[in-house]
Chains A and B, each alone.
Chain A
Amino acid sequence: MPSDLENLIEKTDPFYDTNWCDMPAEIKLECIGKMKFRERLSLRCTAKAERSLVDSQKIEFDEGRFWGDDKMMSFEILSCAFTDYKKLIISDDGLFTAKKIEFLQCDIGIVDAVLRKMKTGVETIKINYGRNISHELAEILAIPHVQNVPYWHIHNYEETDSLHKMWIDKSSKIGSTFQVYVQHNDSFRDFLEHFDDRILSKNENRVRIRTNNPDRHILLERGLDPFVLLDYEPIYFRLKMISAEMKESEYDDDCQKWIRKFDREIYRPKNYYAQIGFYGYYYK
Chain B
Amino acid sequence: MSSTEQGTSSAAPAEPTTAPESAAAPEVPESFYYVHGKDKVVHKVSAGALQHSALIHGMISNLGYTEEQAKANPFPFENIDGDILQMVVDWCNQHKGKPTPPEDTNLPKQKEKLFDLVLAVNYLEIKELLTYCCKQVAMMVKGKSPEEIREIWMIPTDAEDEAAEKEAKKRAGKEAAGETAAAAGDAK
Contacts and interface: CB of A to CB of B under 8 A. Distances in A.
A46 B134 contact: no
Interface string B110-135: 01100110111011000000110011
A24 B122 CA distance: 10
Which DSSP category, helix, strand, loop or mixed, fits chain B's interface?
helix
Interface residues of A, number: 38
A19 B73 contact: no
A254 B78 CA distance: 75
Interface in A96-145: none
Contacts of B73: 1-2, 5
B118 A23 contact: yes
B75 A9 contact: yes
Contacts of B77: 9
A14 B77 CA distance: 9
A232 interface: no
A23 B116 CA distance: 9
Interface residues of B, number: 44
B188 interface: no
B109 interface: no
Contact of A14 (B76, B80, B141, B148): B80
Interface stretch (A29-37, A164-172, A233-241, A257-265): A29-37
B10 interface: no
B155 to A, nearest CB: 5
Interface stretch (B19-27, B45-53, B156-164, B170-178): B156-164
B158 A47 contact: yes
Given A12-B123, A39-B144, A18 B155 contact: no
Interface in B53-78: 59, 62-63, 73, 75-78
B153 A20 contact: yes
A38 interface: yes
A87 interface: no
Contacts of B155: 20-21, 46-47, 50
Contact of B116 (A17, A35, A46): A17
A45 interface: yes
A227 interface: no
A278 interface: no
A42 B144 contact: yes
Given A1-B73, A5-B63, A9-B75, A31 B138 contact: yes
Given A9-B76, A14-B38, A21-B153, A43 B116 contact: no
A47 B141 contact: no
Given A15-B116, A31-B138, A34-B134, A45 B146 contact: yes
A43 B137 CA distance: 13
A16 interface: yes
A15 B80 CA distance: 6
Contacts of B115: 15, 18-20, 22-23
**Interface pairs A-B: 4 shortest CB-CB:** A20-B153, A45-B146, A18-B115, A34-B138
Interface of A: 1-2, 4-5, 8-9, 11-24, 27, 30-36, 38-39, 42-43, 45-50
Interface of B: 38, 59, 62-63, 73, 75-81, 84, 111-112, 115-116, 118-120, 122-123, 130-131, 134-135, 137-138, 141-146, 148-150, 153-158, 161
